[in-house]
């Protein structure tokens, strides 16, 4: 008798792109695809688009009968209500009952959580944190996302919204975060956007200093160009990573003194900068810890691709449904 395989659909709704895939019970992504997140005026059109891309995948896996459900990770996704609530980076405003709408469209049980929590769940079930009960994931992308695991469970808080570490204030009265209006939040410094702003600040504050970065137009100044220049020994580019690592390291020290995790796992585009980012981050993290916390917390990059982690994590929500 052939053992019948069952599948889940994992969907990662990002600010720009939505990635999705068919996942088996061992956490293997059989196939995946993507659509834009912000081309659809209403969420129903977005769901239609998803449906047309997913149906052929579902058919190739033997049809809906072989699927146990859909898991979604999305910004401000609320696990309790299945709604996306006031997500600043998405086009659909207000409270969006996405889990409910998906269930009706696909006739499959659907579970929603925050995108960063989905990545943390993927890390816990299929990544380097498989045997850890206490860790924090930080996604350093366009923004800064976070997922917190305590006692082997994702922390969602009383209302489902816990774990917004990117919006904690690390420089009171500091840099303006354009979409939230807050001053000095972690995200305004330790994101790709933040690195770009730091570059512009340092270049304009020190017009006398030579820098390879001056060969780029403002539009070309990205975390990638800063990285490329830093590798060539450019002082300002290296200062940018030192400063970014300082802000991130100080924030991580604060988080460690909150939940005392075994590890902090970094995801996202900025991690391509490797040790240029990791070394100053670790230095400032350790320098800002009470002695009882020093030299105990692993600071590592995820072995999973962020999008894979989020698809896997979203699908993991579904396997929980099955228990």
Residues that bind a second copy (CB under 8 A): 76, 85-86, 132-134, 148, 150-151, 153, 155-165, 167-172, 180, 182, 250, 253-255, 257-262, 288, 290-293, 296
In contact, 256 and 288? CB cutoff 8 Å: no
State the nearest-atom distance from the C-beta of 271 to a second copy, in Å. Answer: 22
Nearer to a second copy, 99 or 136 (CB): 136
State the nearest-atom distance from the C-beta of 15 to a second copy, in Å. Answer: 16
State the nearest-atom distance from the C-beta of 94 to a second copy, in Å. Answer: 12
Nearer to a second copy, 24 or 262 (CB): 262
Q: Counting runs of H as helices and runs of E as strands, what totals does the chain give?
A: 8, 13
The pair of three-digit structure tokens given for residue 77, joined into one six-digit string: 């996704």
Nearer to a second copy, 10 or 73 (CB): 73
Nearer to a second copy, 73 or 163 (CB): 163
Nearer to a second copy, 57 or 95 (CB): 95
CA–CA separation, 313 vs 175, rounded Å?
A: 33
130-153 per-residue burial string, b: 16 or more CB within 10 A, e: under 16: eebebbbbbbbbbbbbbbbbeeee
State the nearest-atom distance from the C-beta of 96 to a second copy, in Å. Answer: 14
State the nearest-atom distance from the C-beta of 258 to a second copy, in Å. Answer: 6
| List of residues 6+ apart from 262 with CB closer than 8 A | 132, 133, 134, 135, 296, 297, 298
């Amino acid at each position: 008798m052939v053992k019948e395989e069952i599948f889940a659909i994992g969907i990662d709704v990002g600010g720009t792109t939505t990635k999705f895939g068919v996942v088996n019970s061992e956490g293997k992504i059989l196939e995946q695809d993507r659509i834009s997140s912000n081309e659809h005026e209403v969420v129903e059109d977005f769901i239609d688009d998803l449906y047309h891309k997913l149906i052929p995948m579902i058919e190739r896996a033997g049809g809906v009968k072989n699927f146990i459900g859909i898991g979604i990770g999305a910004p401000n996704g609320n696990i309790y209500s299945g709604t996306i609530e006031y997500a600043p980076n998405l086009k659909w405003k207000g409270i969006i009952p996405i889990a409910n709408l998906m269930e009706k469209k696909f006739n499959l049980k659907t579970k929603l959580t925050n995108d960063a929590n989905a990545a943390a769940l993927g890390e816990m079930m299929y990544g380097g944190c498989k045997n850890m009960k206490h860790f924090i994931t930080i996604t350093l992308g366009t923004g800064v996302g976070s997922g917190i695991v305590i006692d082997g469970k994702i922390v969602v808080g009383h209302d489902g919204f816990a774990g917004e570490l990117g919006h904690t204030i690390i420089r009171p009265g500091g840099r303006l975060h354009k979409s939230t209006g807050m001053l000095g939040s972690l995200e305004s410094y330790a994101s790709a956007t933040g690195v770009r702003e730091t570059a512009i600040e340092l270049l304009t504050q020190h017009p006398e200093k030579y820098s390879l970065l001056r060969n780029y137009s403002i539009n070309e100044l990205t975390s990638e160009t800063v990285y490329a220049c830093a590798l060539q020994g450019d002082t300002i580019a290296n200062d940018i990573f030192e400063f970014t690592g300082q802000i991130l390291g100080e924030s991580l020290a604060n988080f460690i003194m909150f939940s005392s995790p075994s590890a902090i796992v970094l995801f996202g585009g900025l991690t391509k900068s490797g040790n240029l980012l990791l070394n100053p981050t670790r230095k400032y993290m350790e320098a800002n810890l009470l002695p009882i916390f020093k030299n105990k917390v692993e600071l590592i990059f995820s072995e999973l691709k962020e999008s894979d982690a989020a698809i896997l994590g979203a699908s993991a929500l579904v396997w929980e449904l099955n228990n």
